Amino acid sequence: MRRLLVTGGAGFIGCNFVQYWMKQYPSDRVVVLDALTYAGKKEHLASVADNPNFCFVHGNICDQPLVEALMRKEGIDTIVHFAAESHVDRSIEGPDLFVETNIIGTHTLLKVARQLWIEEGAVDDHRFHHVSTDEVYGALGPNDPPFTEETPYAPNSPYSASKASSDHLVRAYNRTYGLKTSISNCSNNYGPYQDEEKLIPKTIQRVRAGEPIPVYGDGSNIRDWLHVEDHCRAIELILNAECAGEVFNVGGGEQWSNLDLVKLICQKIDEQRGTEGSERLITFVEDRKGHDWRYDVDCGKLMGLGYEVEVLFVEKLEKIISL
Ligand code: NAD
């Protein structure tokens, strides 16, 4: 039986993970620590709120005394760290908060984990799993091979630079102090509970409202799309493997240019509503500063743990649209 601290568990991926984990491992204790920023909502956890093995704590990962007291009280042996500022555009507008949450916050968790798990030997076994992004690797050109776990880091936005820094700290705590860490670098997630500032929910909302759909530049930027359920399964495989100090890429095997994806959503909504011509709402806007052109990840290492993409992209997208 594990005792998990899930940071950022009221956010998009975190709340999907908490629901997934509590279904798979009903006797595990799951404690969510979340600051409830604009991206976190307690309602995302309504389905587990009454479960006696679940506990929600409203607080900041940068608050070291709080993190330490919570981990001691709950006997936490596993941290699954999702909490972050996660939106690239916001990082361009205001990088400070990204440095604070993504770097200082991650370091705070690492310090407490080291103190309790390494210095005090408070639990028999432990794991610090850090959820990161493929954006740390920078951008690919048209003919470049996908990112592997060996691809050198080359982050281009304040967001990806802050995530890269946190990845390095996690690695250093493994190599220097022997903390049992793991890192997953995943591609763009989609699925239930995603904030409307992100491409897929924003496009759906705009089409429904008959409002302009902003598309950066000429829309040719390519992303790999990973359903959040596949992501949760990937994290589960990593947590259950003997892989301290390892890094795994997680992808969905679905490469779409932003423009093609937006057109697909328009087409699917038109089909469902019996309307046509939603594509006319597409409005090209000035490109994002430092906009990475393409991401693609090689998941071969994770497949060695049994990872397979189970979710069919277009089918799942249709379901999301019909919600
Ligand atoms: P999100 O923005 O939806 O949720 C982040 C959560 O963290 C929110 O609940 C927020 O309240 C909480 N939070 C923020 N600052 C906090 C703080 N200081 N203390 C405690 N809680 C805080 O993010 P997401 O999309 O669910 O992403 C989760 C993780 O996955 C992030 O680390 C992100 O970098 C990574 N990631 C996301 C994607 C994606 O496509 N969404 C892709 C790759 C990696």
**Residue 183, beta-bridge partner list:** 130, 247
Q: Can you tell me which atom of ligand 1 is nearest the CA of 226?
A: 40
Indicate yes or no: pTM above 0.85.
yes
Please give the Cα distance from 70 to 55 (Å, whole number). 11
pLDDT of residue 51: 98
Active site residue 68: no
The helix or strand, by DSSP H or E, that contains position 3, with its residue range, turns out to be: strand 3-7
Tens digit of pLDDT for each residue in 103-133? Answer: 999 999 999 999 999 999 999 999 999 999 9
Quick: pLDDT tens for 222-231.
999 999 999 9
Burial-class residue 322 by CB neighbours within 10 Å (0-12, 13-18, 19+): exposed
Q: Is 38 a catalytic residue?
A: no
> Residue 11: CB within 6 Å of ligand 1?
yes
C-alpha closest to that of 89 among 284, 283, 288: 288
Distance 47 CA to ligand 1 centre (A): 20
pLDDT tens digits, one per residue of 151-197: 999 999 999 999 999 999 999 999 999 999 999 999 999 999 999 98
Q: Is 224 in the pocket of ligand 1 (CB under 6 A)?
A: no
